[in-house]
Amino acid sequence: MHDFSQACRVKKLATYNFNKYLITPDEFVEDFYPHDEIMKQVDELFTSQRDQMDFIIPLLHYEPIHTTLATHMYNVASVAFFIAEQMGYSEKQIKEITLAGALHDIGKKFISTDVLDKTSKLSPAEIYAIHTHPKLGEFFVKEHYPKMSDDVLQAILMHHEKLDGNGYYQVKNENITSYARLISVADIFCAITETRTYHAAHSFEEGLSILTNEQGIDTQYIAPIKDQINLSIAI
């Protein structure tokens, strides 16, 4: 297993004065369902999604979490489910992948909305603060849901890694888990096709084109999205 704790220490925290962009524990409202309730919600989504194959289905209720972030995590969970379903993953794997999608960006809860919503160029400190969110998310989920599988935790931690080593923590190739590779594709596709403060939403067709040209992602996970979009166009 790759030593991510070591990878995260490659850049010392003192490199940038980014602490002012992070939310302190006192400001963080911990209002998550217990682990068993999360798994129940995943089961419900799993059953509903299998019947409807709907891209956008709410999974968990994140409140008072940032609205755009909550919507994004819902969407990534749904698209990740769809990809895993189409690629023949087992029911256990699909459940874990869906859960990883629903929690992948939870580390951003610790980052100021002023940074998340900023429309101008980010400063080095702000960029570094954002780059901490996978590790913050993995740590939060591990601490609050000790029964969470390592596969889900690793997907949260690695979802911004690139096969060429140009991701947040410079991990590459076989060291990036399959769940993380899948979540990465779903994450990028949803980010492109959602409205953000700093860009308008692209159409699914435009999103697919941009995704196809993205460097460092595992392209096998694009195929189910492409097939679904092409089918919709044909209809």
Residue 207 lies in a domain: yes
Residue 135 lies in a domain: yes
Residue 9 lies in a domain: no
Alpha carbon 158 to its chain centroid, in Å, reads: 9
Residue 230 lies in a domain: yes
pLDDT at residue number 221: 96
pLDDT tens for the chain, 235 residues long, are 333 333 333 333 333 344 455 444 333 333 344 455 555 666 666 565 555 434 333 333 333 345 578 778 878 888 898 899 899 999 889 989 988 998 999 999 888 888 888 889 999 899 999 999 999 999 988 888 888 899 999 999 999 999 999 999 899 899 999 999 999 999 999 898 887 877 888 888 888 999 999 999 999 999 998 888 777 665 5
Residue 212 lies in a domain: yes
Residue 137 lies in a domain: yes
Q: Tokens for 21, please give them.
A: 């962009």
Residue 210 lies in a domain: yes
Between the alpha carbon of residue 202 and those of residues 23, 160, 191, 193, 222, the distances in Å are 31, 21, 9, 5, 17
Which CATH number do you get for residue 40? Answer: 1.10.3210.10
User: How many structural domains compose the chain?
Assistant: 1
Its domain, for residue 141, covers 32-49+63-234
Q: Tokens for 62, please give them.
A: 């994140």
Residue 22 lies in a domain: no
Q: Cα-atom radius of gyration of the chain, to the nearest Å?
A: 17
Between the alpha carbon of residue 209 and those of residues 37, 144, 177, 202, 223, the distances in Å are 37, 38, 25, 10, 12
